[in-house]
A = this chain, B = another copy of it.
Amino acid sequence: MRIVVDVMGGDHGCEVVIGGVKQALEEDASLTELFLVGKEDEVGAAIKNLGLRDPRVKVVHASEVLTMEDKPVVGLRRKKDCSIARAVEIVKEGRADAIISPGNTGGVVAASTIKLRPLPGVERPAIATVIPAQENEFVLLDAGANVECRPMHLMQYAIMGSVYSREILGYPKPRVGILSVGTEDVKGNDLTLEAFKLCKQVEINFIGNVEGHDLFANHVDVVVCDGFVGNVVLKTCEGMAMSMFRWLKQEFMKTPVRQAGAWLAREAFLTIKRRVDSDTYGGAPLLGLNGVVTIAHGSAREAAIKNAIRHTGRAFNNRINQIITAEVARANARLSCRAAEAPAPS
């Protein structure tokens, strides 16, 4: 497998990203080529510091970086030679199979969408984030690629998330729900009410609306929403988990007895912490494009990058793009047949 890594744009500099690449190369013999895209001098220095000597590594120079301050589309127009654009081009030219970037999320979405184009029949790509709960892992999508959605987009997210949950996470018949303000069919806003009607007609295990209460209660495996809601929910969960652990820690420190208790029970906390660790997946796939794209966390360290490379490889090897294309085509056909069969409004 041939992977491109945009090594610029992560919060900790390119050496941390390349450190993750080094670990992945050491562990994964199926990697046949690995392109590192970024400023040549910085990348060269990092490679030297890390003692990375591997014939599979190719450095590709890009003189610019899309920063968090850049507006995605405007930034891409101004910074023609930025690392994310160059990285995507390598996949577009067929020289690599997949791309990983820890940079500006909007920039990765825009560059990938413009250059790789959506899969046939897919209207918009979606960021699919895997969120661990106690008894299952659910996929939330869209987590922020597309903040203004139409019902058709949500229906397609339901299919893409279903494919991802089945093919990558191993849920044989993933339960798909639309995130809404109540579980009853009539609850929701205009977008979710219309999307509900579409989802009912396609071949997924659609369980209807789900609420915030359901997410962590093993009621649903694929949670569908627009990119605004998904991004807000994802960050709220991350922020709340972090703050709960911080708060507990401070409460434990208040007396020696509590400290001792927390020390005795520490394995319980560590079990949960390990399970909710964002490094496990290292990033989120951008589903629905001609090419496998993974958006790594800006804060990704070595282990996260290594895991992102591994999961990106799985997505490629499991041919999820071909499966998504086939299932979306079938759903689109079914919906247009139904629309044609429906009596014309009199």
Which A residues contact B (CB, under 8 angstroms)? Answer: 69, 71, 133-134, 144, 147-148, 179-181, 184, 186, 188-190, 192, 211-217, 225, 227-229, 231-244, 246-248, 250-252, 254-255, 257-269, 271-272
Given contacts A133-B243, A228-B181, contact A238 B261 (CB under 8 A): no
When C-beta atoms are compared, the residue in chain B nearest to A254 turns out to be: B268
Chain B: minimal CB distance from A217 (Å): 6
Which residues does chain B contribute within 8 Å of A134, judged by CB atoms? Answer: 243, 246-247, 250
When C-beta atoms are compared, the residue in chain B nearest to A143 turns out to be: B181
Whether A179 lies near B261 (C-beta < 8 A) is no
Chain B: minimal CB distance from A275 (Å): 9
Complex-state Cα separation, A234 to B232, whole angstroms: 11
When C-beta atoms are compared, the residue in chain B nearest to A184 turns out to be: B69
Give me the 5 closest cross-chain CB pairs, A-B, nearest first: A261-B264, A212-B235, A261-B265, A212-B236, A251-B268
Of B233, B247, B254, B266, which is within 8 A of A236 by CB?
Answer: B233
Whether A239 lies near B217 (C-beta < 8 A) is yes
Besides A216-B243, A251-B271, 14 more A-B contacts (Cβ < 8 Å) are A212-B231, A214-B239, A215-B239, A216-B239, A216-B240, A216-B242, A228-B229, A248-B272, A252-B265, A252-B268, A260-B261, A261-B261, A261-B266, A264-B264
Which residues does chain B contribute within 8 Å of A248, judged by CB atoms? Answer: 268-269, 272
Whether A189 lies near B148 (C-beta < 8 A) is yes
